[in-house]
Amino acid sequence: MKLQCTIPNNSKSYEIEVRNGLLKDLASYSTTLSSRFAIVTHDSLSASYAEPLHNSLKALGNESFIFTFPSGEIHKNREIKESLENQLFEKGLGRDSCVIAIGGGVVTDLSGYLAATFCRGVPLVMVPTSLLAMVDASIGGKNGVNIPYGKNLIGTIYQPHKVVIDPNVLKTLPTADLINGVVEMIKHGLITDHDYFEYLEKNSEKLLKLNPEFLEKSIYDSCRIKKEIVEQDEKENGKRRLLNFGHTIGHALERLSNYLLYHGEAVAIGILVESYMSTLMGILDSVSFERIKKIIMDYKVPLRLQEKFTPDAILEAMRTDKKALKGLPRFVMIEKIGSCLDYNFSYCTQVDEQIVKTALQWMNDDLCRH
Ligand code: GLY
């Protein structure tokens, strides 16, 4: 199943392909872009995915090199990027090379930034191996590294030449990693697509059991929703902010937990608290709110926090959120399943502090285990 992502005023239009078993076609597709390849991956993924690709590329008469770095968000940094750049030059790679990124969000973010700046930009193929990277990180061109001042603060928006998604690779993924992706898929339904949300509602068992047909279709639909948003607002000046639903609070919780909380768990709590704010404001009806709570439970997302973070501490952590205006956080507001308020095309709004505090208190007292 194929999607085409076409961004106005960007000469690059690229394919997102989702198919069980697709990885075996990767080498022959890649040779349409270059004959010199830098495969970037984690040490732990090299034997399963990078080496077979490398061998196929060589067998087809290409030059290919594998570059690895350790897994973990802590390694998505400037030093690793610089070291990879030097290694590519040492192998004689240059403007005519193609970067193939194989891994989760850490690999796709760092490799995207590498490809965007290496010799001022070389072709990039994204091969996401985590569910989160399949439905989110590999699509839409955002890339970057973390610096001591915060996450993803240095980077570019650089669209890939192709996104190659083979759901079969998820068979070896730990459940906690699966949940990171599931929560973004639920979010995609909530912000723009009621039918997709309903499809996810009805099929939680299939996803948790990694049913291949269900994975292929649901990943395809999530990619479709994300790419349609990116096509309308590549630079995140408006509609792309919808993808931040649940993330204003989610990111604050991640930070306060020193990143011990999984991204998906933090965003799931964020989705519920931000939805609760909508109900407190009379925007979202309580039946829809209960459906949102139920789907998060059905997908077995743990709703737990190491401790009760005070509403004041969370408010403080949200002041540096990218949607904040003059130090005050803004939130995406859901009005019904599949639709959010557009607030004159800004797609987010400030919320009375008392409402935010009431919702955060509910999170501590009623929603989360500690
Ligand atoms: N992950 C959110 C975005 O790509 O805009």
Average pLDDT in the chain: 95
Residue bearing the CA closest to ligand 1, atom 2: 243
pTM of the entire structure? 0.95
How far apart are the CA of 291 and the centre of ligand 1, in A? 24
Nearest atom in ligand 1 to the alpha carbon of residue 240 is 5
- 240 touches ligand 1 (CB under 6 Å): yes
Write out pLDDT tens, residues 173-228: 888 889 999 999 999 999 999 999 999 999 999 999 999 999 999 999 999 999 99
How far apart are the CA of 151 and the centre of ligand 1, in A? 13
Hey, is 348 helix, strand or coil?
Answer: coil
Q: Could you tell me how far CA 219 lies from the centroid of its own chain? A: 12
- What is the reported pLDDT for 11? 75
- What is the reported pLDDT for 147? 87
Hey, is 328 helix, strand or coil?
Answer: strand
- What is the reported pLDDT for 148? 82
Residue bearing the CA closest to ligand 1, atom 3: 243
Residue numbers in the chain where pLDDT is lower than 50: none
- What is the reported pLDDT for 326? 86
- What is the reported pLDDT for 194? 98
226 is catalytic: yes
Residues in Cβ contact with 308 at an 8 Å cutoff, skipping those fewer than 6 apart: 364, 370
- Which residue in 36, 162, 226, 330 is the catalytic one? 226
Core vs surface per residue 316-351: b (16+ CB within 10 A) or e: ebbeebebeeeeebbbbbbeebbebeeeeebbbbeb
Strand partners, 101: 40, 126
- What is the reported pLDDT for 216? 97
How far apart are the CA of 182 and the centre of ligand 1, in A? 15
263 is catalytic: yes
Write out pLDDT tens, residues 288-334: 999 999 999 999 999 999 888 999 999 999 988 888 888 899 999 99
How far apart are the CA of 229 and the centre of ligand 1, in A? 10
- 142 touches ligand 1 (CB under 6 Å): yes
- What is the reported pLDDT for 331? 97
- What is the reported pLDDT for 15? 95
- What is the reported pLDDT for 174? 83
- What is the reported pLDDT for 10? 79
Q: What is the CA radius of gyration of the chain?
A: 20
- What is the reported pLDDT for 320? 83
Nearest atom in ligand 1 to the alpha carbon of residue 236 is 5
